[in-house]
Homo-oligomer: A and B are copies of this chain.
Amino acid sequence: MPRKPNTAQRRSQIVDALRQVMAVSGYAGATIQAIAAKSGLAPGLIHYHFHDKHEILVELVETLVAYARLRYERRAAEATTAAERLRAYIDARLAFGDDAQPDAVAAWVMIGVEAVRDADVRAIYQRAVASELALVRGLLKACLRAAGKRVRALDALAAGLLAYTEGAFVLASNARALVPRGFAATLAAEWIERYIAGETDLPRSKPRSARRPRERRA
């Protein structure tokens, strides 16, 4: 009577534990002992399901990236205009909701630092950044067009929103008490809105009505 493999559950159990421990202690502080204790498993078992600590980290990074994407997509599915989709993105990243993993933000900050040292993590991290930039760029472009504005400096704008997001994570991790609660999403939305308002109008006579038909679901 062969035993049923439970590796998938165990792996996610361990990855979850790493996320929680890392959020508090960083990667270096996330000892196998600590991960084992948090997950309620024996230390040796960690290495049965993962070759080494690094492999857990890589899986955590992938998990967080996938989950962030999922959060956006769930919200974007309900959006119909470019502005709503951008707002969905901002909320997915910066607003708290029922689907928030409290540790995920802190863990992501730690991962950003670990990316400096670890080539594998850096690769995933940069892939995530690149994909995020492309997504934001598209969202912004659609908003600008919908607003009848010229499309300029998209790359910088996307980078800026990403920087803002990452920085908001850092402050949330380190200085939560010092910043207004929940400021990030609201301010980001206003920032973008006013930035777009400040852009040059397209020469079109009826920009809004003309552009609206172009809107599509992402």
Task: List residues of chain A with CB under 8 Å of any chain B CB.
Answer: 23-29, 106, 109-110, 112-117, 122, 125-126, 129-130, 133, 153, 155-157, 159-160, 162-171, 173-175, 177-180, 183-184, 186-188, 190-191, 193-195, 197-198
Quick one: copies of this chain in the complex?
Answer: 4
Partner of A191, one of B106, B133, B191: B191
- CB pair A190 B195 closer than 8 Å: yes
Partner of A24, one of B117, B133, B169: B117
Partner of A183, one of B159, B168, B170: B159
Partner of A168, one of B106, B167, B184, B186: B167
A167-B170, A168-B163 given; A175·B129 CB < 8 A: yes
- CB pair B109 A112 closer than 8 Å: yes
A110-B116, A126-B175, A166-B167 known; 11 other A-B pairs, CB under 8 Å? A26-B113, A26-B117, A115-B174, A130-B178, A155-B180, A159-B171, A162-B171, A163-B184, A190-B198, A193-B198, A194-B194
Q: How far is the CA of A35 from the CA of B155 in the complex (A)?
A: 38
Listed residue (A28, A125, A197) with the most chain B CB atoms within 10 angstroms of its CB: A28
A159-B179, A167-B168 given; A174·B133 CB < 8 A: no
A156-B187, A179-B155 given; A174·B126 CB < 8 A: yes
Q: How far is the CA of A110 from the CA of B195 in the complex (A)?
A: 31
Residues of B within 8 A of A197 (CB): 194, 198
- CB pair A117 B164 closer than 8 Å: no
Partner of A29, one of B29, B117, B167, B169: B117
Listed residue (A27, A122, A163, A171) with the most chain B CB atoms within 10 angstroms of its CB: A163
Nearest chain B CB to A47's CB is how many angstroms away?
Answer: 12
- CB pair A170 B171 closer than 8 Å: no
Listed residue (A25, A167, A187) with the most chain B CB atoms within 10 angstroms of its CB: A167
- CB pair B167 A183 closer than 8 Å: no
Q: How far is the CA of A179 from the CA of B184 in the complex (A)?
A: 21
- CB pair A170 B112 closer than 8 Å: yes
Partner of A116, one of B106, B122, B159, B168: B106
